[in-house]
Structure 1
Amino acid sequence: MIYLIRHGQASFLKSDYDQLSELGQQQSEVLGNALKDRNQEASFISRGSLNRHEQTARHCLNAFGIDKDVSEDDRWNEYDHMELLSKHNPAFTDYAAIGEYLMNQENPMKALQQVLNKSIGDWIKGAYDYHTSWEDFKKGVLDALNDVASKLDKGQSAWVFTSGGPISVALIELLALKDEQFVDLQARLVNSSITKILVGKNRLSLSSYNDYGHLDHNPNFITYR
């Protein structure tokens, strides 16, 4: 089994987004305690190279009480949302510019989701020249997923600390969905949630999606950004 774990809440619209918030750290610790209570230990652990991946893994493993090597693989990194936003609207040069735009909207969070969805749609359609194309992003994620699967023997599990984008790409592939469904899949992923993928003899298949039962005891822990 492969556990695709979305990182804890990051520092959204702060000067450095790629840091866990205090709540993100707590989510990661709750996750580690839950995995320990379920007696679900990993034979192999990997993560993306972003700070929020490293921090989520560290807080989770510390709470679990295990000290294992964690392999780093940047194919598990999120797409560059700032590049997508700035291609869609050249005025969005940094977080300050986006924040100023949002403050002038009647519903800032709704406005943000709308512009982000449109920028992702541009990316999927190849509307602009991107550092990493949609097709290359998908290929990298699926190659990384297959590499993890190849490391597991019968009865073993792997944990992968990653982001919503790579998890949603895996879902599109495993469920034979259309690329346009990427946005909806990603929007529903809760911070620190687990998506399980069963490694069969000849194929991978989805076992469960977006499990955040470990957060149910406190509704304030359930976040999407």
Structure 2
Amino acid sequence: MAEIVMVRHGQAAFASDDYDRLTDIGWEQARLLGEYFSAAERGFDVVFTGTMRRHRETLAGIRDVFAQSMPAIAMPEALAIPELNEYDFHSLVDAYLANIGQEIDRSEPRSFYRTLRLALIAWSRGELSDVLETWAAFEHRARSTLTRLAETQGRVLVVTSGGPISAMLREALKLDVETMVNLNLQAKNSGITRYFSKGEQFHLNTFNAVPHLAAASHQHLITYT
């Protein structure tokens, strides 16, 4: 039996010259999550993370606070695997806009994510060309990662992105693509998705929860980018 705790990275720097880094809010989300984990006085037996900077920084924020609060409970070194990386959403949006012959204001989140939703649906249908990864390849790596997690015992922390989290949710719960995409675009920064697994059976316990941001003083820290 394994308890698998998946965490989406903290807020990244949307519409900046380097999206793949945490904002000040993103660092604060990670630190508060570290406090939440340490309050339970339980560590993790295995830690996985993607290889992206925002994954590493989110884990660093969690780990730093956890080490200060729970010095007697060591958090193992992370196994960094590219299968936990996000799809390249910029290339998907580029390909979709090229298909329809339009452009959007990419600095405006509502416009961008509305277009991304359409791009993801088109990607799943094989309607986009010149993309860095096929939909089939994306689903395959999500499926193989879920299989790897199923073979892991104990309490497992996984720091990744909204895309892989929703793709693994689709696999575990047999969701249709449109439902998966809708859940993907609802993913909160530093949100927790928790499973209990036995063999290849996954039982969803929590999706997209932010108990570490529940206080009224932390409501401004609930973000989606």
Q: TM-score, normalized by length of structure 1?
A: 0.88
2:211 alignment counterpart: 213
1:20 alignment counterpart: 22
Task: Give the whole-Å Cα distance in 1 for the aligned partners of 2:42 and 2:193.
Answer: 14
Aligned positions of 1:1-20 closer than 5 A: 1-20=3-22
2:70 alignment counterpart: none
> Which deviations, in whole Å up to 9, do the C-alpha atoms of 1:46-94 show, x marking residues without a partner?
1000000000011101111145211000000000001101101249xxx
1:180 alignment counterpart: 178
2:188 alignment counterpart: 190
Q: Is the 8 A contact 2:7 2:190 kept in 1?
A: yes
2:71 alignment counterpart: none
**Aligned-partner SS, 1:157:** strand
1:33 alignment counterpart: 35
2:56 alignment counterpart: 54
Structure 2 regions of 5+ residues with no counterpart?
A: 68-73
Aligned positions of 1:96-115 closer than 5 A: 101-102=105-106, 108-115=108-115
1:118 alignment counterpart: 118
Amino acid in structure 2 at the alignment position of 1:62: D
Gap change, CA 1:48 and 1:210, over 3 Å in 2:
same
Task: Give the whole-Å Cα distance in 2 for the aligned partners of 1:201 and 1:164.
Answer: 24
Task: Give the whole-Å Cα distance in 2 for the aligned partners of 1:151 and 1:52.
Answer: 24
Task: Give the whole-Å Cα distance in 2 for the aligned partners of 1:148 and 1:27.
Answer: 25
Task: Give the whole-Å Cα distance in 2 for the aligned partners of 1:67 and 1:210.
Answer: 23
Amino acid in structure 1 at the alignment position of 2:109: M
Q: Is the 8 A contact 2:15 2:106 kept in 1?
A: no
Gap change, CA 1:102 and 1:51, over 3 Å in 2:
closer
Specify which of 168, 171, 191 is matched with residue 169 of structure 2.
171
* Percentage of pairs with the same residue: 28
Q: CA deviation at 1:202?
A: 4.7
Amino acid in structure 1 at the alignment position of 2:141: G
Q: CA deviation at 1:201?
A: 4.0
**Aligned-partner SS, 2:128:** coil
Amino acid in structure 1 at the alignment position of 2:148: D
For the pair 1:131 / 2:128, whether they are aligned, the reply is no
Amino acid in structure 1 at the alignment position of 2:177: D
Amino acid in structure 2 at the alignment position of 1:191: N
**Aligned-partner SS, 2:144:** helix
Task: Give the whole-Å Cα distance in 2 for the aligned partners of 1:41 and 1:134.
Answer: 35
Q: Is the 8 A contact 2:30 2:58 kept in 1?
A: yes
For the pair 1:199 / 2:201, whether they are aligned, the reply is no
Amino acid in structure 1 at the alignment position of 2:219: P
2:224 alignment counterpart: 224
Q: TM-score, normalized by length of structure 2?
A: 0.88
Amino acid in structure 2 at the alignment position of 1:134: W
Gap change, CA 1:159 and 1:67, over 3 Å in 2:
closer
> Which deviations, in whole Å up to 9, do the C-alpha atoms of 1:32-52 show, x marking residues without a partner?
010000123110001000000
Task: Give the whole-Å Cα distance in 2 for the aligned partners of 1:72 and 1:102.
Answer: 30
Amino acid in structure 2 at the alignment position of 1:78: E
Structure 1 regions of 5+ residues with no counterpart?
A: 92-96
**Aligned-partner SS, 2:195:** strand
